């Protein structure tokens, strides 16, 4: 009898932000395949005897290839086991959850998606930056920083620069110079506010604030690396008023509307 695969979003880092349903899946799982950015405290909820399989990935180095992860999901479920694929954030937001669900469907393995809080919303909120605001932002977009330098994605920058109020960039720190350059080239004001939220929702969270023109130098000065969320738009100006969690490490920006 086939088991079942649960693609579970662990949330952005703070273990308290996992959903009740996600936690229940963890407690009932026979096998848990977990990612690098999953808070290890969550694994303490695994039942005794559950098998824990690390699938962590670093830039340019994958402990386990995606094809291998897909294979294991199917393999364990075919043995009649309940399998949790525990992923940072949300499985369907730059988490390859769609690929894993496709693999299950291909092999007639039952599966279920358990959404999680994605970092684009959570890290921003913990930095006091709402991605939408009635007067400052009526639209937002989630993009991957990996598209910087992607010829096929080149045309998207013009749309992002002009048609979206708030842009949240995942995995973009190493591409930050290219991201700011492309937005300015497509008529986004160099004075547009931008924030980088490092280790969002965790106790050592840091937020760096600047403009498209100044942020690269400020990030270097603060020695900010991945994992960090990049948030671009006028809502970043609210950080100074709504910041409730971390200590900002750069001076206030002047209010700029453009």
User: Which residues carry out catalysis?
Assistant: 35, 57, 171
HEC-encoded secondary structure of 75-95: HHHHCCCEEEEEECECCCCCC
Is the CB of residue 225 less than 8 Å from the CB of residue 115?
no
Radius of gyration (C-alpha) of the chain in whole angstroms? 19
Which residue, chain included where needed, has tokens 């200590």?
A: 247
Could you tell me which residues come within 8 angstroms of residue 101 by beta carbon, excluding any fewer than 6 positions away? Answer: 7, 111, 113
What pairing do the DSSP bridges indicate for beta strands 206-211 and 193-198? Answer: antiparallel
Closest to 200 in 3D by CA, of 170, 221, 179: 170
Spatial distance between the Cα atoms of 143 and 41, rounded to a whole number of angstroms: 29
Structure tokens at 238: 């609210």
């Amino acid at each position: 009898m086939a088991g079942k695969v649960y693609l579970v979003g662990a949330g952005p880092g703070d273990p308290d932000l996992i959903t009740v349903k996600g936690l229940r899946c963890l407690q009932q799982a026979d096998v848990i395949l977990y990612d690098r950015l999953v808070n290890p405290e969550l694994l303490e909820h695994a039942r005794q005897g559950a098998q824990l399989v690390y699938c962590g990935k670093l830039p340019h180095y994958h402990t386990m290839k995606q094809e291998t992860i897909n294979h294991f999901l199917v393999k364990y479920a075919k043995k009649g086991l309940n399998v949790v694929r525990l992923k940072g954030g949300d499985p369907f937001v730059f988490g390859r959850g769609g690929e894993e669900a496709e693999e299950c469907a291909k092999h007639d393995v039952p599966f279920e998606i358990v959404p999680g809080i994605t970092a684009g919303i959570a890290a921003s909120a913990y930095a006091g930056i709402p991605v939408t605001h009635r007067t400052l932002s009526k639209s937002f977009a989630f993009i991957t920083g990996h598209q910087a330098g992607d010829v096929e994605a080149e045309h998207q920058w013009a749309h992002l620069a002009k048609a979206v109020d708030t842009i949240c960039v995942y995995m973009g720190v190493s591409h930050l110079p290219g991201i700011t350059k492309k937005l300015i080239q497509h008529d986004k004001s160099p004075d547009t506010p931008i924030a980088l939220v490092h280790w969002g929702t965790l106790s050592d969270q840091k937020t760096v604030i600047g403009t498209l023109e100044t942020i690269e130098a400020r990030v270097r000065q603060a020695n900010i690396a991945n994992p960090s969320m990049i948030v671009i738009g006028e809502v970043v100006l609210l950080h100074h008023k709504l910041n409730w969690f971390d200590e900002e490490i750069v001076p206030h920006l002047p209010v700029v509307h453009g």
